[in-house]
Structure 1
Amino acid sequence: MLADLKPRRKNLVFDLVEEAGYDTTDWVESFKRAAGYKANPKYCYEWGYVQPGRLIILNLWHSNMVEEHGQIVHRGTFRADAEFRRLNGAKQQWVDRARRLDGALQVALRENLPVRVIIVDGDRREKEAVDGPSSRVRCRELDPEPWTITAYDWDTGSCELTRGILDGRFVDQFDLEQTSKSGPERREVTTSSFVRDPAVRRRVLSRAKGRCELCGEQGFKMASGAVYLETHHIVPLADGGDDHAINVVALCANDHRCAHFGDDREEIARKLHAVANAFSDTASRIAVVH
């Protein structure tokens, strides 16, 4: 529960990012003095950290988290926070740090990276207090559970982060990839060069309700209790297909392979278009009624 995540100890940021799996080599080597590198100001005051291909780490306030339907969620718009600070004369380092948080989210989305969170608690400066004292962190701890980006608006930077990767009712192959990257011994995984909107994947998995949208069979249940299906773009992104629910379906692993490589893949694509269009039409009629 959310109350259980409230940090009780004030650990060093260096120790926490290292625990998360971040490469601290430059953190150590860029500090001139042999001793005291853990206080390297180039790093220890940052609000987020990016290790491409591996993970991102964010410092998030416990007070900004909410508990919804059994999951812990953080919502915000770091980009808008940065712009507010810039327009209202805040310290430039605060503006830059907020911008880098938004940039970290974009890296995570492009590379399908897990998000590790350092949960902080203490005297938090309100965003509007641009000329006030800095926030004072009294406690900070690394959440042992990875988080995932469940929604992100590329136009505004508005984002939603949810604790856990496989804790939802339905998961897909991109969730498994994140889990692999977040493990203590990272396995090599194949990543796509195309950015997929996590909100679209979640919407399609929810629409399918755990059943393959081609054959109707139930996906298999994972140890976490989540039901596994694979999300599939009917018209591939590489061919100009839209990253939209009308072009994405949830399939069992066997039908997903068939949709890509079967000798009847063109017929499968026609069937899948009909499935996605049917749901789109239903959603439109509901919207009109309401």
Structure 2
Amino acid sequence: MLADLKPHRKDLVFDLVEEAGFDTTDWVESFKHAAGYKANPKYCYEWAYVQPGKLIILNLWHSNMDEEHGQIVHRGTFRADAEFRRLKGGKQQWVDRARRLDEALQVALRKNLPVRVIIVDGDRREKEAVDGPSSKVRFRKLDPEPWTITAYDWETGACELTRGILEGRFVDQFDLEQTSKSAPERREVTTSSFIRDPAVRRRVLARANGRCELCGEPGFKMASGAVYLETHHVVPLADGGDDHESNVVALCANDHRRAHFADNREEIARRFQVRNGGASMSVSEVAVTS
């Protein structure tokens, strides 16, 4: 429940990012006074932290979170917030921090990184009060659950973050990759060559409703209760395919391999192109003709 996430103590930012798995070496070494490195101003006032290939960490206000259909979400447009502050003559550090938070989201999308969230609460400055006093954080804690970016508009920066990675009704291979990266002991890094819109993946998985769009069989149920299928671009992104629902299908793991490597893979692709192009073809018809 959202109320359960509200922090009631004020932990140090350094301790929280270290707990999340962030490498604090430079945080310590770049501060002249060795005894007070946890207060290093180069880091402790930031709104976002990026560790390439591993994770990003965001400071998010509890008051900006909502509970919807059993999930906790946060929506915002940090890029627009930065521009608003700039145009209204707000403090440059606030402009820069908002921009860096938006840039952190882009890094996470490009590399399919998990998002860890430090939840903050206290006296929050109104957006319009650009020349007023800074917000006062009175409580903060690290959410033990990773978050995922479930929507992001590259034109405007409008984003939606949802608590949990495998908590949705349907998940795919990119969700599993995020979960693997969020494990504290993991050190290997897997990267995505092309940026995939998380909202497209979610809509395709919802469209499939838990059944492979080639063979019609249900995906397997995970321990979390989510149904697992794999999203697949009919025309690969490397070949100029669109990252759009019309070019993406949800397949069971076996049929995903077939779509890539089977001797009739071109026929499978053509069938999906016909179906997604508007022709009437059911899942069973695709399976029979493939």
- Where on the TM-score scale, by shorter chain, does this alignment land: which range? over 0.9
SS of match in other structure, 1:102: helix
Q: After superposition, what is the alpha-carbon deviation per residue over 1:4-54, rounded to whole angstroms, capped at 9, x for unaligned?
A: 000011000000000000000000000011110000000000001000100
Equivalences for 1:228-239 in 2 at 5 Å?
A: 228-239=228-239
Check the 8 A contact 2:53/2:190 in 1, yes or no: no
Matches of 1:52 and 1:230, distance apart in 2: 25
Structure 1 position 191, deviation (Å): 2.3
User: Which residue does 1:41 correspond to in 2?
Assistant: 41
User: Which residue does 1:181 correspond to in 2?
Assistant: 181
Matches of 1:206 and 1:277, distance apart in 2: 19
Matches of 2:231 and 2:84, distance apart in 1: 37
Question: What are structure 1's unaligned runs of at least 5 residues?
Answer: 282-290
Q: Percent identity?
A: 86
Q: Structure 2-normalised TM-score?
A: 0.95
Q: After superposition, what is the alpha-carbon deviation per residue over 1:79-122, rounded to whole angstroms, capped at 9, x for unaligned?
A: 00000000000000000000000000000000000000000000
Question: What are structure 2's unaligned runs of at least 5 residues?
Answer: 282-290
Matches of 1:31 and 1:190, distance apart in 2: 32
Given residue 156 of structure 1, which amino acid in structure 2 is its aligned partner? T
Matches of 2:212 and 2:277, distance apart in 1: 16
Question: Kindly tell me: are residues 170 and 158 of structure 1, through their superposed partners in 2, closer, same or farther at Cα, counting changes over 3 Å?
Answer: same
Equivalences for 1:158-197 in 2 at 5 Å?
A: 158-186=158-186, 188-197=188-197
Matches of 1:189 and 1:42, distance apart in 2: 27
User: Which residue does 2:124 correspond to in 1?
Assistant: 124
SS of match in other structure, 1:36: helix
Equivalences for 1:56-205 in 2 at 5 Å?
A: 56-186=56-186, 188-205=188-205
Equivalences for 1:268-279 in 2 at 5 Å?
A: 268-278=268-278
Given residue 167 of structure 1, which amino acid in structure 2 is its aligned partner? E
Question: Kindly tell me: are residues 272 and 189 of structure 1, through their superposed partners in 2, closer, same or farther at Cα, counting changes over 3 Å?
Answer: farther
User: Which residue does 2:284 correspond to in 1?
Assistant: none
User: Which residue does 1:10 correspond to in 2?
Assistant: 10
Structure 1 position 277, deviation (Å): 2.9
Matches of 2:251 and 2:188, distance apart in 1: 24
Matches of 2:251 and 2:280, distance apart in 1: 17
Check the 8 A contact 1:11/1:139 in 2, yes or no: yes
Given residue 108 of structure 1, which amino acid in structure 2 is its aligned partner? A
Matches of 2:167 and 2:264, distance apart in 1: 35
